[in-house]
Amino acid sequence: MLKFPVPGAVKTRLIPGLGAERACELYRALVRHTLATVGEFSRGAAVAVEVRLTGAPDTVAARAWLGDAISIREQGEGDLGARMERATREALGEGAPAAIVIGADCPQLRAEHLGAAFAALRENEVVLGPATDGGYYLIGLRRPRPELFRGITWSTATVMAQTLAGAQRLALSPCMLERLADVDEPGDLATWADTPAARALGRDRVSVIIPALNEAAQLPATLAAALRGDPLEVIVADGGSVDGTPEIARAHGAIVLASPPGRAVQMNRGAAIATGERLVFLHADTLLPADYAAHVRQTLAQPGVAAGAFGFAIAGEFPGRRWIERGTNSRARRRQLPYGDQALFLRRDTFCALEGFRDMPILEDYEFVQRLRLRGRIAIAPAIAVTSGRRWRELGAVRTTLLNQAILFGFRLGVPPARLASWYRARRTSMPVFGAPV
């Protein structure tokens, strides 16, 4: 059961996070995955494959999308239940001993699930594939049962329960398959990102992840610089902004993901839905160099390199700026100890192996880099990321540096991060220090 891919008409619940165009692109990718799965199964089984399509402007457009090798029929009128009931009734009426209906929402679907469904129908009249959202990704029948498609509140968490209640009224005991996850809401994107199909699309590409909270003033320039590098995607993990930050991110074509506040949590949430092979973690007030994507690839391709970062520079003039830049760059290169405002980057597999950033209210980047160093060298790319000078201008270069060092020294002595964060908040009320909540 497919819809013709028109931006704004497919995957509409994903549009607030992805935008209409990107949601449509994802739908196309899900359809390709589903058709490939069905094709893999059908090569070893005596089954007929049919697409029931809705929304196509004409046959030419439908064939241009799906090709000439597959049977295409109109879904017809009515709600989703009426259209699925029609499809099963007609298939069974045309001589099929069993009929299975699926959509294109389930990236976890494999040929084995289709095989298990047809095998179950040899002994059962109904088979269902439950979805984690309360619906189902598959329904199979041996004979028409229109009652199973009536009285259902479609696209809700009650679909499976209502379907089972209908089966009980018919004295049917459906065979239940493995529970799988659909992709319908922005929070489901992690399911898609973890599939081989998504990994294939993201191969050799870069995903940029930006944690943000009330960054409307800084974000446009940050996004513009990130987009110049032609990344696969820019993901803004928003921690509950009230200043228009999400709207600005969407207007620039970024993926917007709602998250609880806290930089570590936000970056982990962003990484979970990223599909690029390489991840760049970027502060919302830091500008990437124009050729950053090439530097990311070249740096991570070096033998023994586990992660990388960019050289450090501060925007604007204030006393002590050059001193801070020199000290930061020396520390990053000699001690392999860059911080988050240098745009840390690494392979997605490495990030997953480390299980992401620790959920800490401060210094999450420092702690993460310490673990990265155990896996290999942290290289500094020969290009500069320019971060905002707002925190140094607010408090002064000397006082800001002393505060940063005091917090870092406390962390090394074992002071709990929550207490360090309270020290930080007591001394500075608006600007982040590396790893502090944005």
**Could you tell me if 160 and 232 lie in one domain?**
no
Query: Does one domain contain both 59 and 144?
Result: yes
SS3 262: coil
Domain boundary among 125, 159, 176: 176
Instruction: Quote the pTM value.
Output: 0.87
Q: Where are the alpha helices (DSSP H) in 155-313?
A: 159-169, 189-193, 196-201, 219-228, 245-251, 263-273, 292-300
Which single residue is written with the structure tokens 């959202």?
A: 133
Q: Residue 419: its pLDDT value, please?
A: 82
Q: Domain residues for 421? A: 203-427
> Would you say 197 and 33 are in contact if contact means Cβ atoms under 8 Å apart?
yes
Tokens of 312: 């450090």
Asked if residue 262 and residue 142 are part of one domain, the reply reads: no
Residues 213 and 164 in one domain: no
Q: Residue 278 and residue 199: Cα distance in Å, rounded?
A: 11
Of the three residues 141, 161, 176, the one that is the final residue of a domain is 176
User: Per mean pLDDT, which range of 102-111, 314-323, 358-367, 414-423 is the poorest?
Assistant: 414-423
Whether 258 is in a domain gets the answer yes
193 found inside a domain:
no
Domain membership of residue 434 (yes or no) is no
Share of the chain above pLDDT 90, in %: 83
We report the CATH number of the domain holding residue 351 as: 3.90.550.10
Residue type, 87: A
Tell whether the model's pLDDT for residue 433 goes beyond 60: no
pLDDT band at 369 (very low <50, low <70, confident <90, very high): very high
- Whether 332 has a pLDDT exceeding 80, the answer reads yes
Note whether 238 and 171 are same-domain residues. Answer: no
Instruction: Let me know whether 252 and 371 are in one domain.
Output: yes
What percent of the chain shows pLDDT beyond 70? Answer: 96
Give 436's pLDDT tier (boundaries 50, 70, 90): very low
Q: Is 200 exposed, middle or buried (0-12, 13-18, 19+ CB in 10 A)?
A: exposed
Q: Strand, coil or helix: what is 273? A: helix
99 with 224, same domain: the answer is: no
Q: CA angle, 429 as apex, 265 and 236 as ends, to 5°?
A: 30
Domain count of the fold of the chain: 2
Q: Is 153 exposed, middle or buried (0-12, 13-18, 19+ CB in 10 A)?
A: exposed
**Which of 160, 176, 192 is the last residue before a domain boundary?**
176
CA 208/CA 386 separation, integer angstroms: 16
Whether 341 is covered by a domain: the verdict is yes
The answer to whether 165 and 175 are in contact (CB under 8 A) is no
